[in-house]
Structure 1
Amino acid sequence: MFGADDTPIAFDSFNAEIVVDFDGGWSELRRLKWSRTLDATWHTDRRCYFLTLMLDGPVEVDRRNVALAQMAPYGGRRVRLVPPDQTIHSVSVADGEARAMRCFLEADLVESVCARPPSFEERAHLGSIDLSGGPLEWLLLRMYREMSNGEIGLRIALEGIAREIAVEIARAIEGRRAGTRRLSGGLAPWRMRLVLERIHAEGPLPNIIELAAICGLTSRHLGRAFHQETGRTLGRFIAAAMAERAGRMLEAGVPVGAVGAALGYSSSSSFAHAFARETGVLPSSIRDGHRHRGSRTS
Structure 2
Amino acid sequence: MRLNIDRGTLCGHTAIESGTREGAVERESYADSAYEAELTTSQASIHFARFMVDKPTNRMFRREGRYWLDLCLTPRPENSRGCYHDRWGPHRFEGLGEIFLVPPGEALHIRTETGAAQTSIVCEIDAAAVDRWLEDGIEWNDRRLAAGLDIAHPHIRACLSRLAEEVRHPGAGSAELAEMVVAQLAIEVARYCQAIAEGPITGGLASWRLRRIDERLQQGGPPPPLEELAALCHISVRQLTRGFRASRGCTIGDHIAQTRIEIAKRQLASDASIKSIAFGLGFASASSFSYAFRRAAGESPRQFRQRRYRKEG
Q: Which residue of 2 aligns with 1:211?
A: 229
In the TM superposition, 1:26-175 aligns within 5 A as 26=45, 31-35=51-55, 38=58, 43-45=62-64, 47-50=65-68, 55-59=76-80, 64-65=85-86, 72-73=89-90, 76-78=93-95, 82-85=102-105, 88=107, 90=109, 92=111, 96-97=115-116, 103-115=123-135, 126=140, 129-131=142-144, 134=147, 137-139=150-152, 143-144=156-157, 147=160, 155=178, 159-169=183-193
Distance 1:59 1:135 in 2: 14
60 and 274 in structure 1: CA distance in 2 versus 1, 3 angstrom threshold: closer
Shift of 1:162: 3.4
Instruction: Note if contact 2:244-2:250 (Cα within 8 Å) is conserved in structure 1.
Output: yes
Shift of 1:108: 0.4
Q: Which residue of 2 aligns with 1:178?
A: none
Shift of 1:259: 0.9
- SS for the counterpart of 1:105 is strand
Shift of 1:106: 0.9
Q: Does 1:9 align with 2:28?
A: yes
Distance 2:41 2:103 in 1: 19
Distance 2:255 2:57 in 1: 36
Q: Which residue of 1 aligns with 2:7?
A: none
Instruction: Note if contact 1:77-1:132 (Cα within 8 Å) is conserved in structure 2.
Output: no
- SS for the counterpart of 2:151 is helix
Q: Which residue of 1 aligns with 2:8?
A: none
One-letter amino acid matched to 1:57: E
Shift of 1:215: 1.8
Distance 2:60 2:16 in 1: 11
Q: CA RMSD in A?
A: 5.3
One-letter amino acid matched to 2:190: A
Shift of 1:151: 6.0
For the pair shown, which has the larger CA radius of gyration, 1 or 2? 1
Shift of 1:226: 4.4
Distance 1:91 1:235 in 2: 27
Shift of 1:113: 3.2
Identify which of 260, 263, 268 aligns with 1:242.
260
Q: Does 1:263 align with 2:270?
A: no
Cα displacement string for residues 34-81 of structure 1 (whole angstroms, at most 9, x for unaligned residues): 43775x666523x2133568845244686545xx8xx72376223576
Percent of residue pairs bearing the same amino acid type: 21
TM-score, structure 2 normalization: 0.56
Instruction: Note if contact 1:32-1:99 (Cα within 8 Å) is conserved in structure 2.
Output: yes
- SS for the counterpart of 2:124 is strand
Instruction: Note if contact 1:187-1:229 (Cα within 8 Å) is conserved in structure 2.
Output: yes
Instruction: Note if contact 2:40-2:46 (Cα within 8 Å) is conserved in structure 1.
Output: yes
Distance 1:261 1:203 in 2: 11
Instruction: Note if contact 2:68-2:124 (Cα within 8 Å) is conserved in structure 1.
Output: yes
Distance 2:304 2:42 in 1: 32
One-letter amino acid matched to 2:273: P
Instruction: Note if contact 2:85-2:108 (Cα within 8 Å) is conserved in structure 1.
Output: yes
Instruction: Note if contact 1:58-1:98 (Cα within 8 Å) is conserved in structure 2.
Output: no
Shift of 1:144: 4.9
Cα displacement string for residues 143-169 of structure 1 (whole angstroms, at most 9, x for unaligned residues): 457656866899455643432213444
Instruction: Note if contact 2:290-2:301 (Cα within 8 Å) is conserved in structure 1.
Output: no
188 and 11 in structure 1: CA distance in 2 versus 1, 3 angstrom threshold: same
Cα displacement string for residues 154-206 of structure 1 (whole angstroms, at most 9, x for unaligned residues): 9455643432213444788xx7xxxxx8547944152345434543x253243
